[in-house]
Amino acid sequence: MPPLRNVPHSVRLQHSSKADQVADTLRRMVLSRELEPGRRVTQAELADMLGVSTMPVREALLRLVAEGFVDALTSRSFTVADSTRERIQDIYWTHGMLISEMTARAWDQRDESLLTTLKVLHSDFLVGLRRRSGEQMLEANLAVYNALETAARSPGLAFMLRTTLRYFPDFSASVPGYTDIGTNWHAGLIDEFTNGTREGARQVTMDAVRAATDFVMRSFWGFDVVSGPPA
């Protein structure tokens, strides 16, 4: 079995990083199959790869155990769960249901201020795309979520949505074509919030989530996504 790929020093986590940063990194590696189902890893191995101590690694791994992506073994080792693919599909389907409903509720409360905000954020996203700045694109995309949450006035729905958002890691800087999904979503939202319908806005968002899900699953897992959660 080949060793884990080293993370470049430029993106290594610092020793002061919190466990959630480690969890985000390991979660991304599971989603992109850098850590494949059945792969056994140790705390020490991952700590060395990320340039951190074993303490935040252990806490991060336990979080992934609770999320169903990792199974705990003996001797401080873990394996990536064999059910990871199905788990991801379930979460992405749930995310689509939540964000499409959030979008519909935001459409009900739409006004010129919201429309202006969406246009500005779309412009910021495109600037980041031209600059090949994954960070700027990520910030703009998250700001779109925030704008929809604020307009929808549904804190409970927003809380559940943010729980699923962690499973959509930022691949924008490294995977060609993924940014097109965000570009099309923002443009579609602006059209529907300007002259469209509530159901049109909901559908634009659902289509974007399905496209993102299909992209991730085909690119990294080699299979097409069905319309709902796996049986």
> Domain holding 184: CATH number?
1.20.120.530
What pLDDT score was predicted for residue 61?
Answer: 95
Residue 4 inside a domain? The answer is no
Q: Which of 45, 67, 82 is the last residue of a domain?
A: 82
Question: Mean pLDDT in the chain?
Answer: 86
Residue 3 inside a domain? The answer is no
Look at residue 127 and tell me whether its pLDDT is greater than 80: yes
Grade residue 175 by pLDDT with cuts at 50, 70 and 90.
Answer: low
**How far apart, in Å, are the Cα atoms of 222 and each of 32, 69, 132, 173, 183?**
11, 18, 26, 21, 24
Domain identity same for 126 and 205: yes
Domain identity same for 75 and 165: no
Look at residue 7 and tell me whether its pLDDT is greater than 70: no
Domain identity same for 139 and 176: yes
Range of the domain at 20: 9-82
Structure tokens, 158 = 């927003």
Domains of the chain: total? 2
Which residues, 6 or more positions from 195, have their beta carbon under 8 angstroms from its beta carbon? none
What pLDDT score was predicted for residue 16?
Answer: 44
Residue 2 inside a domain? The answer is no
pTM of the entire predicted model: 0.79
Lowest mean pLDDT among 47-51, 171-175, 192-196, 227-231: 227-231
Domain identity same for 107 and 141: yes
Which residues, 6 or more positions from 24, have their beta carbon under 8 angstroms from its beta carbon? 166, 169
Residue 20 inside a domain? The answer is yes
Q: Which of 67, 82, 97 is the last residue of a domain?
A: 82
